């Protein structure tokens, strides 16, 4: 009797699968579409996708310093920050917390999908600040192109 019940359950599941398959034949036939889509990519785009997996992107600064190419990118960023006078070393004011920072590593590609350069950026994690406690106000002057055109036009008038 137990064998008979298990056969009926197995038979019911088999018939359920068959009824679903008969109602949706297009879903079953679509499993080959992604492979066809990849083959239909242009050769340059296919090369680009293939090259994406060749570059190892470090997760942190310790990993980056172990790879000579990424170490050069980090040193280039540090030189640029020092040259531009991005920061100055000062004593921390009492009662103020420090901003942390993190390194972001990005490979840059040319239009023909070959690797152009490795870019390392040091970014501040400013989302940890509290208005009125860590800073008073922010101001970032931005000039729109139309504003510059008007000023130049006014300046060139006699």
3-state DSSP percent of the chain in helix, strand and coil, to 5:
55, 15, 35
| Triad 143, 148, 149: Cα angle to 5° | 145
Q: Are the C-beta atoms of residues 107 and 55 closer than 8 Å to each other?
A: yes
Q: How confident is the model at residue 48 (pLDDT cuts 50, 70, 90)?
A: confident
- Give the highest mean pLDDT range of 3-17, 28-42, 53-67: 53-67
Q: How confident is the model at residue 89 (pLDDT cuts 50, 70, 90)?
A: confident
Question: Measured between alpha carbons, how far is residue 90 from residues 28, 80, 87, 93, 127 in Å?
Answer: 66, 20, 9, 9, 22
The answer for residues whose C-beta is within 8 angstroms of residue 64's C-beta and 6 or more apart is 58, 70, 71, 73, 74, 103, 105, 120
C-alpha 57/C-alpha 54 separation (Å) is: 10
Look at residue 137 and tell me whether its pLDDT is greater than 80.
no
Beta bridge partner(s), residue 24:
none
| Triad 20, 26, 32: Cα angle to 5° | 115
Look at residue 74 and tell me whether its pLDDT is greater than 90.
yes
Grouping H, G, I as helix, E, B as strand and the rest as coil, residue 40 is coil
List, as own/partner pairs, every contact residues 58-64 make where C-beta atoms lie below 8 angstroms and the sequence separation is at least 24, other chains included: 58/105, 60/103, 61/103, 64/103, 64/105, 64/120
Q: Mind listing the pLDDT tens digit for each residue in 91-127? A: 888 887 788 889 999 999 888 778 889 999 998 887 7
Q: Does the model's pTM come out above 0.95?
A: no
Q: Which helix (H) or strand (E) holds 23?
A: helix 2-23
pLDDT of the residue at 25: 43
């Amino acid at each position: 009797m137990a064998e008979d019940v298990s056969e009926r359950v197995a038979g019911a599941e088999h018939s359920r699968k068959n009824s679903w398959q008969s109602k949706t034949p297009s879903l079953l036939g679509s499993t080959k579409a992604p492979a066809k889509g990849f083959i239909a990519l242009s050769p340059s785009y296919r090369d680009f996708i293939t090259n994406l997996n060749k570059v190892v992107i470090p997760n942190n600064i310790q990993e980056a310093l172990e790879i000579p190419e990424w170490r050069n990118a980090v040193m280039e960023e540090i030189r640029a920050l020092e040259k531009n006078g991005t920061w100055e070393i000062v004593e921390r004011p009492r009662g103020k917390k420090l901003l942390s920072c993190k390194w972001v590593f990005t490979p840059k590609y040319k239009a023909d999908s070959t690797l152009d350069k490795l870019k390392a950026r040091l970014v501040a994690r400013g989302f940890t600040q509290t208005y009125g406690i860590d800073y008073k106000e922010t101001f970032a002057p931005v000039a729109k192109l139309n504003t510059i055109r008007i000023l130049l036009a006014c300046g060139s008038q006699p």
